Amino acid sequence: MNQSVINAVVVDDEHLAREYLKEMLKEHPQVNVVAECKNGFEAVKAVAEHNPDLIFLDIQMPKLDGFEVLELIDRNDIAVVFATAYDQYALKAFDSHAVDYLLKPYSKERLASAIEKVSRNIGTPLPEMGQLRATDEAGPEILSRIVVKDGSKIEVIPVNDVDYILAEDDYVNIHYGKQSILKHQTLSSLEQSLDSDRFIRLHRSSIVNIDRVERIELLAKDKYIAILKDRTELRISRSGHRRLKEVIS
């Protein structure tokens, strides 16, 4: 889908990087910068307010990184061009259906090529560059924090603070301290990003931080429950019990 004007948001925590990109974009009058952001929180807000067609997105930023921004805006019709000084995120970027990946410092010609790709992909749910995903031999990245959009607020939860997680249809209910919050994600997909030596799938509907387990009790033949340090009780399946024994022993 082509269009005469492409509304764009520029996101980078470095002022000079934002100015450099905006200066180069003057040669592409079809790109209209509607907002610039210096961190991920501002980016999520700007996308909600301006509904852009395109986002130029840095990856390593304080508070929220570029991938967390994409997760929170939860749109598959926005063209994403990553602009970063780090080449090790390219595979993950294309797995996120990025239209292009600009490695700083990029040239005018390289930017022009990215904008041409954007023009061809605006509005398509799965941009063509997203089809270039290769096998990730290293496996999924282990989360160190979980980000959740709660209305107009964004919660950043250190994974170390998580006690247990429950499945609720297409959501997970994350319990940490005396708080809990819902996140639109399946339990299975979240499990893949957690450290399997610390977070154990007790049951099809629950994951527990093993540091929070105080004891395991037998209720009946082959039926167990986990008693957590805060006295929460969680059912344990047979496979969950085997996995607990492997990790705890």
Residue 129: what pLDDT?
33
Between 160 and 125, residue with greater pLDDT: 160
Nearest to 161 by CA among 110, 121, 212, 228: 212
Q: Are residues 75 and 193 located together in one domain of the fold? A: no
**Is residue 139 one of the residues assigned to a domain?**
no
141 within some domain: no
Query: What CATH number is associated with residue 161?
Result: 2.40.50.1020
Interior angle at CA 10, CA 6 and CA 16, nearest 5: 135
pLDDT at 124: 62
Task: Indicate the residue among 67, 102, 132 that finishes a domain.
Answer: 132
Residue 1 placed within a domain: no
Where residue 3 falls among pLDDT bands split at 50, 70, 90? Answer: low
pLDDT of 138 over the 50 cut: no
Calpha distance 207→176 (Å, rounded):
13
Question: Is residue 57 over pLDDT 70?
Answer: yes
27 and 99 share one domain: yes
One domain for residues 159 and 45: no
pLDDT for position 2 = 46
At residue 101 the predicted structure's pLDDT band, cuts being 50, 70 and 90, is: very high
Name the DSSP class of 11: E
Comparing CA positions, the residue from 196, 197, 226, 193 lying closest to residue 212 is 226
Q: Could you write out the DSSP letters of every residue in 200-220?
A: EEEETTEEEEGGGEEEEEEEE
Co-location of 95 and 151 in the same domain: no
Residue 140 lies inside a defined structural domain of this protein: no
Domain that holds residue 220: 146-248
Statement to judge: residues 12 and 108 lie in one domain: yes
Examine the domain organization and report whether 119 and 168 are in the same domain. no
Q: Is the pLDDT of residue 61 over 80?
A: yes
Characterize the bridge pairing of strands 31-37 and 6-11: parallel
| One domain for residues 51 and 162 | no
Q: What are phi and psi of 17, to 5 degrees?
A: -65, -40
Mean pLDDT lowest for which of 6-10, 133-137, 197-201?
133-137
Average pLDDT over residues 113-142: 61
Query: Do residues 118 and 28 share a domain?
Result: yes
How does the average pLDDT of the chain come out, rounded?
Answer: 87
153 and 226 in a single domain? The answer is yes
Q: Could you tell me the pTM of the whole model?
A: 0.73
